[in-house]
Structure 1
Amino acid sequence: MENIKEKIINREVIASTQERKTQLGYIFWYSVTGEVEITRQELREKFEEIGIDEAWLPNEIRPSDAFRRATKEIQRRKMPTSDPNKFLNFLVREVFSDNNSIQRNIVIEVVDQNGKRLQYNPNATVMTLDKKNNDFIIWSEPNNDKARELAKEAEERFKKYLNYYSAQQLRVMISKILASLAPTAVRPNGGVYFVPQNFATELKKLQLLCASLQSEGVAIPLQDTSENRNLVVDKLESELKELLDRCKNLEKTDGVQKAIYKDSIEQAKRLASTYKAYREQLSLEVDKLEDMLNELRFSAVRLTEKIIKN
């Protein structure tokens, strides 16, 4: 049976020297199915087989994250009762967290057909994670069988999620790998990206990783034409302008969390690296982009100074 490394050789994105000369890059998009289940060791083995650096592996799963994921998933809304005009909501609310434990309660709401709250019980069932030994502790009021049943379901999910990554964690992992391939969004809301030709091999590895996760990674060749070059320049300019506007607004705003400043600074660094890759590999030299990039660098420096002052 053909293994993944053989697929990289036999299904190489660029099949000939001629294609290398006429191809600008790829239009790429991906999706991760919600049903995918994989452990860290299984994911590490896939990385090794495909040839992806282990540095891109997600962080090890924290019990607190597994607890929050499991308890969030048991929420239920508008469950019928014996009264056709009344429904039950089983909601999960976090009431306490420190270095030793996390407490989340199943809250029961009685609502009418319009969602108006008629009754409220904030302590129907209490779920606690003892961080010292990862014990999942359940306390439930009498006569709240459904809430207790949901808590037991959360406990079973927790035991599983201690070892299995969520689809969202895998999406974040793939987006980080993609970010290293100098992508430029070709749609205003993202989701579809241009990746330059010189990242073809790494992009193929990312495609194979998506496929190995029973998910999708699609790369469509983009030919090297003046029209397509203009498309790339326009999209990169749009991304630069959007980030520059955001950074300038942050410069004028006080009381913003440092993480927001840092995220914009990191995005500025990424775009600077992307433009450098495009300039070298695609022979792009656009004065307007150069000016915007310099302005973005100065704005990032000012944001850094703002972080230090605060």
Structure 2
Amino acid sequence: MTFDKLTSALNQGGQHLGDLIWWTLAEARIDRSTLEKIWAGAQLAPEHLPDPPTAEKALKAAVREAAVGQPDRLIRLGKEDEAEIVFAVVRETKHADGSVTYQQETRIVLDRKAESVSSDIAAHDLAGVITTRFGELRSTHTPDDVRRAMMKTLDACAAVTLRDHGGVYWVPAPYAELVRRLQTAIEKIGSSRVYLLPVHASADANRTLGDAAKLAIEDELAALKTEVEGFMASPPDRPSTLVRRLDAFEALKMKAALYRDVLQVRVQDLEKTLEDLTGSVEHLLNEKVAA
């Protein structure tokens, strides 16, 4: 059955509960200015865009790419401080007696202030590859950046993962318009495709999605509880860390309310647990203010 036929068949159900979403990112490298235009054109929140490319990120991405397919050479971080980042290209030689020796071939240096990359052997092949890729990546977002922007948007849509390792998500119906704007934006990046499969009310759909939503809330609540217990044992240095947790509690409360309305999902002791966690975090904040 084709995707269109499957969509048509599933559209015959009852009330629209939401959409299943999955995607493929193909040829998804994109420069910052183009991504910003696409994002704005789809009326997506700018705060969900990835951070702008930096010289540091560009160099490290270039190094990762250059290291692929180099069985006898390693690229190792040798130094990273406020002034520079230094990677060393090292040749690894294995000998008949089982011993291994290493010989450094060149150093690749990022001058943080000048945002320039250089090598102590200008004609070195890997250094040349890294320098070229650095120039290309300096103003370019990678597919991983695009994926992270998608995940930020889906998180804002109260999405629930339907697989242990992600890849397929359910977005509740109140965010149907937003997720379609996301689809429009992503499909303008390279040859990427975003698939939306509407899910309508039925006994099986309500039960399956309800179970998934309940599990997602319980997992998120457990993670927050563990984190706050760690804060109580060793308070973070920055008050902003605690403030962000208060925001996370409120976001989880809103997500739970949404799932309760759409799928009649209820998580036992959610309100009480969030209230206790909020009290603990506020206590830590008050202690920092008084210190």
2:95 pairs with 1:118: no
Partner of 1:11: none
Give the Cα–Cα distance (whole angstroms) in 2 for the partners of residues 128 and 307 of structure 1.
42
Which residues of 2 match residues 1-310 of structure 1 at below 5 A?
22-33=15-26, 35-76=27-68, 79=71, 88=72, 90-111=73-94, 118-121=100-103, 123-140=104-121, 148-213=124-189, 214-250=191-227, 253=230, 268-280=249-261, 282=262, 284=264, 286=266, 289=267, 291-299=269-277, 301-302=279-280
Give the Cα–Cα distance (whole angstroms) in 1 for the partners of residues 270 and 95 of structure 2.
55
Q: Percent identity?
A: 19
Residue 248 of structure 1 deviates from its aligned partner by 4.1
Q: 1:54 to 1:77 in 2, by over 3 A?
A: closer
8 A contact 1:105–1:125 mirrored in 2: yes
Residue 301 of structure 1 deviates from its aligned partner by 4.8
8 A contact 1:183–1:274 mirrored in 2: no
Give the Cα–Cα distance (whole angstroms) in 2 for the partners of residues 67 and 22 of structure 1.
50
Residue 257 of structure 1 deviates from its aligned partner by 7.8
Aligned residues: 274
Residue 127 of structure 1 deviates from its aligned partner by 0.4
Give the Cα–Cα distance (whole angstroms) in 1 for the partners of residues 175 and 14 of structure 2.
14
Amino acid at match of 1:96: K
Q: 1:48 to 1:220 in 2, by over 3 A?
A: same
SS of the equivalent of 1:73 reads helix
8 A contact 2:63–2:130 mirrored in 1: yes
8 A contact 2:20–2:199 mirrored in 1: yes
Amino acid at match of 1:284: Q
After superposition, the CA RMSD in angstroms is 3.4
> Mean Cα displacement is larger for which, 230-239 or 47-56?
47-56
SS of the equivalent of 1:74 reads helix
Alpha-carbon displacement from aligned partner over 1:50-81 (angstroms, at most 9, x marks no partner): 232333322221111111111221114564xx
Bigger relative CO (Cα 8 Å, ≥ 6 apart): 2
Alpha-carbon displacement from aligned partner over 1:218-260 (angstroms, at most 9, x marks no partner): 111111123322222211221222233334444555569889x
Amino acid at match of 2:101: Q
SS of the equivalent of 1:136 reads strand
Give the Cα–Cα distance (whole angstroms) in 2 for the partners of residues 251 and 71 of structure 1.
37
Residue 101 of structure 1 deviates from its aligned partner by 1.3
Give the Cα–Cα distance (whole angstroms) in 2 for the partners of residues 305 and 117 of structure 1.
58
Amino acid at match of 1:299: L
Amino acid at match of 2:152: K
SS of the equivalent of 1:212 reads coil
Give the Cα–Cα distance (whole angstroms) in 1 for the partners of residues 79 and 38 of structure 2.
38
Q: 1:175 to 1:285 in 2, by over 3 A?
A: closer
Partner of 2:3: none
Amino acid at match of 2:270: M
TM (norm. structure 2) is 0.79
Residue 200 of structure 1 deviates from its aligned partner by 1.0
